[in-house]
Amino acid sequence: MLDGASQAVTQGSGEHFLSAFALLLHAGPFQLGILSALPQLIGTTAQLASVKLLRCFPDRKSLVRLGTVGQALSWIPILLLPLAFPAWGPWLLIMGAAIYFACNHFTAPTWTSFIADHLDQHERGAYFARRASIVAAVSFGALCAAGGLLSLWPRHTAWIGFVLIFLAAGTARLFSAAALRPVPDLPHREPRSGHEGFRVFLRNSSRSFRRFLLFSSLMHLAVLIAGPYFVLYMLRDLHFSYLTYGAWLAAGVLGQLLTLQGWGRFADRFGNKALLSITGFIVPILPMFYMVTTNAIFIMGVNFFSGMIWAGLALGLQNYVFDAVPEEDRATAVAVYSTLNAVGWCCGALMGSWLIAALPSRFEWAGWSWGSSLPVVFFVSGVLRLLISVGLMRQFHEPRAVEQAPLSRLLLELPLLTPVRHIQQWIASPLLRLGR
C-alpha cells in the first residue's frame, strides 16, 4: 500500500500536469495528441519486452524496482530539456514522457503477477479497491497542493512551480521502490504462452476473452478522442487558472475515492461483467455534459460524477483480466490487454487532434452556440462510447461463479450513493460533537 501512496504523489503532482506543462511550452492540439498517444505506444513495447525478460530473469521484485527507479529518474529530462531548449520544448517533453511511460509499462505485467499471487481470487476486488482508494486519497491531496502551488506564479513564470511539483513527483517514485523492499516474491509458474508468442496466446484464449479485449481497446479509442483535450478546453478556451484546473482534476479523483470500496465489494459479489455492464452505459453520457455550460462549478461537478463512474469501469476492466485467464498466463494477458488498449489510446488521441483541426472553431445549432469545437469533439466521443457498449457488451461473459441478480437488484446495490452518505457523516459529526 505504501508504494501505491508514493505512486499517487507522482500521479497527482506529475502525470496529471504534463499536458498543462505542454501548453506552457506552447504545444498545439496535434502535439497534445502525440504527448498522450506516443508514450503509451512506446510503453507497450517495453511491456511486451518485460514479459519475455521475466522468463529469463524470474526475480519479479527486482524487475519492478528497476522500472520504478527508471520512472523516478525520467523526471529529470522531462523537466530540464524543455526548459533548456524551449524552441523544441513540446517535442522534448514528449521524448521525456515516452521514457517515463516506457519504464511505467515495463513494470506493469510483472507487478500485476507479483501482487496477484499474494491474493485470493475472491479478495482481489476488495484489495485493489482499497489500494485504489488510498491512491485516490493521496492523489487528491497532491493534485490540490500542486494546483495551489502553480497558482502562486503568473503564467509567464509558472515554470518555477512546475520545477517544484515535478521534483516532488520524481522523489515520491523513489520512495515507491524503497517500499517494495520488504515484500517477498513468491514462486510462480512459468507462463505457458511464453514459448509460443502473443498471437498464439490470443488464439488459444477463450472467445469471450478476445471479445472483451476488443471492447476494452475500442472503448479506449473512443475515450481518448476527448481525453487529451480537456486541458486545452480548460486552460486555453475557458481561461481557467491552474488552481481551478487542479480543482477540476481533484474533483474526479475525489469521486473515485468515495466509491472505489463500494465498487470493489460490488464486483466481488456480482462479478466484473455486471460492473462493466452498468458503468459501460453511463460513461457515454459523461463528455456530453460539457456542451451544457462553461460554468466552472458545474464542470467540476461533472468531473466528480465522472470519477465515480470511471472508478467502477477501470476496476472492472482490470479485474476481469485477472479472472479470465489461468494464473500462469496472467502476466502475458496483462501485457496483451495493455498493448491493445495502448493502440486504441494512440488511435483515439490522433483522431481527436484531426477532428479539432477539421471542425470549425465555432458551432451554432438549435439556438445553442459554442465558441470552441472541443465540446463537439467530446460529444462525438460519447456517441462512439455508446455504440461500442451497445455492440459488444453482450459478447463476453463473467468468468467467475458469482451471485446472480436481476438488473433492478444490481441498480439498488450500486455504490453511487456512498458519497452522499460520506458527506452527511462529515457534516453530522461536528454537529454531534457540538451538541454534546
Q: Identify the three-state secondary structure at position 370.
A: strand
Q: Which helix (H) or strand (E) holds 365?
A: strand 363-365
- Encode pLDDT of 87-134 as tens digits: 899 999 999 999 998 888 777 766 666 666 656 555 656 666 677 778
pLDDT over 90 for what percent of the chain?
29
Look at residue 287 and tell me whether its pLDDT is greater than 90.
yes
Q: What percent of the chain has pLDDT over 70?
A: 80
Q: Which amino acid is at 23?
A: L
The C-alpha atoms of residue 396 and residue 208 are separated, in whole angstroms, by 4
Which DSSP letter does residue 72 get?
A: H
> Helix, strand or coil for residue 294?
coil
Q: Count Cα neighbours of 435 within 13 Å in the Cβ-side half-sphere.
A: 6
User: What pLDDT is attached to residue 377?
Assistant: 93
The predicted structure's pLDDT at residue 305: 93
What is the chain's mean pLDDT, rounded? Answer: 82
Q: What is the dihedral of CA 95, 100, 102, 104, to 10 degrees?
A: -160
- Judge residue 413's burial from the number of C-beta atoms within 10 Å of its C-beta, 0-12 exposed, 13-18 middle, 19 or more buried: middle
pLDDT value for 47: 72
pLDDT reported for residue 244: 92
> For residues 363 and 358, what is the distance between their CA atoms, to the nearest angstrom?
13
Cell of 169: 513527483
8 is written with which cell numbers?
499517487
What pLDDT, in 10s, does the model give residues 240-253? 999 899 899 989 98
Report d(CA 320, CA 322) in Å as an integer: 5
Greatest mean pLDDT range, 36-45, 195-204, 315-324: 315-324
What confidence category does residue 59 fall into, taking pLDDT thresholds of 50, 70 and 90?
low
CA distances from 224 to 114, 227, 288, 345 (A): 29, 5, 14, 6
Grid cell at residue 177 = 521502490
Identify the pLDDT of residue 369. Answer: 66
Q: Which pLDDT band holds residue 425 (cuts at 50, 70, 90)?
A: low
For the chain, domain boundaries: 2-184+193-435
Q: For the chain, how big is the Rg over CA atoms in Å?
A: 21
The per-residue pLDDT for 194 is 47
* Cell (9 digits) for 58: 524470474
The pLDDT score that the predictor gives to residue 251 is: 92
User: Residue 195: what pLDDT?
Assistant: 47
Residues 419, 258 contacting (CB under 8 angstroms): yes
What is the distance between the alpha carbons of residues 108 and 241, in angstroms, rounded to a whole number?
A: 34
Task: Identify the residue with better confidence: 333 or 54.
Answer: 333
Q: Please give the CATH superfamily to which domain 2-184+193-435 belongs.
A: MFS general substrate transporter like domains (1.20.1250.20)
Ranges of beta strands (E only) in 112-245 are none
Helix (H) or strand (E) holding 369: strand 368-370
For position 189, what pLDDT does the model report? 54
Most confident of 188-202, 237-251, 315-329, 352-366: 237-251
C-alpha 321/C-alpha 272 separation (Å) is 10
Residue whose C-alpha is closest to residue 360's, from 370, 351, 345, 350? 370
Predicted confidence (pLDDT) per residue in 178-196, tens digit: 766 665 555 555 555 444 5
